[in-house]
Structure 1
Amino acid sequence: MTDDVTRQLEAILLIVDEPQSLVSLATAVGAPVAAVRQAVEALVEDYDGLAGGPRRGFELREVGGGWRIYVRAEHDALVSEFVNAQTPSRLSQAALETLAVIAYKQPVTRGQVASIRAVNVDSVVRTLLGRGLIAEQFTDAETGAIHYGTTDQLLVQLGINSLDELPPISPLLDDGADGFDDETLR
């Protein structure tokens, strides 16, 4: 059973965007937490080359009370360069809207952005992370939610020195008064 659990965990960990707790992983694979803990430890050893195999270019790391696969630090620059070279230069409307929410509301979680935009933003956040326009700022110790903020790369792309140079958002928003006459507003 341990090999099956290990393979199942590996499959799940390859696709998750946020660190997953042992309880969450145990629920996903239908195994006891102790078996999941043992399988996670085996994966860490395997990826680190401690189980007799090669040290991998990625690692399984515990962050914010959960587990997630990350690129090893020594490969960050290479992977970032590769991703940026593979990415088209234009952002989609969804990416621009998500980036605007993050820029004006940061630090903000993916769930908060999704709530504001009223759509799932997982793939858009991955795109923005891949392009280096946003970054993980910190993980909430209580919820495990990752908070995102913009990067200096965004400032360079926009040709500004600070987010303070962004236009104020409130003049761009409708105040909701359209359709009401002056009597109704009093």
Structure 2
Amino acid sequence: MAKQLDSQLQATSQLYLKINAQVMLLKNINISAGLVNGARGVVVRIEKGVPVVRFKNNREYLCKHEKWIIKTASGGTITRRQVPLKLAWAFSIHKSQGLTLDCVEMSLSKVFEAGQAYVALSRAKSLDSLRILDFDPKQVWANAQVLQYYKLFRRRLHDSTMIPLGAKNIKREKSNDPKTIALAKLKKSLMDKPLVSIS
């Protein structure tokens, strides 16, 4: 049963922590306070055998044991009680989705999905806070269906009947119409941007 729990839960049966360990929260505790699954922090002290974590939003939280319940194939349930943390010195690209990281060191040598490299690279706040260990341009590609969708979208946009761009081409009676001007500007901005194909 322990193996089944380990395979289905991120909360491990044993957790070893120390002061200054970087950790990640594994459960939504208080959404309005930012204590959500994936929130990162640092263990600042241990109180009565329980870690106190200072999260990136500067909130401290005494991480009490939480309960996880999974159903078995036979219809029963298995329960694990554990501190809802895991070490977060490193984590997968998938787990990093939605995070903004102050400092990132990453390996892109084993990217296996379209767009995955983009997800990894866009986690860093700036280029100065990003270090790539092994960059291989062959590991960076976009989904072919997504590229095709945007090509079709741009073609339809180009072929659509909109008022020609530029103040000289907009008829005088339409020049003050905010919708007309906004549509013309939108079309111009979309057409000016190149459709980037990563290969």
- Structure 1 length as normaliser, TM-score? 0.22
1 or 2 for the larger relative contact order (CA 8 Å, sep ≥6)? 1
Instruction: Write 1 or 2 for the structure with the bigger share of helix.
Output: 1
Name which one, 1 or 2, has greater alpha-carbon Rg. Answer: 2
- Structure 2 length as normaliser, TM-score? 0.21
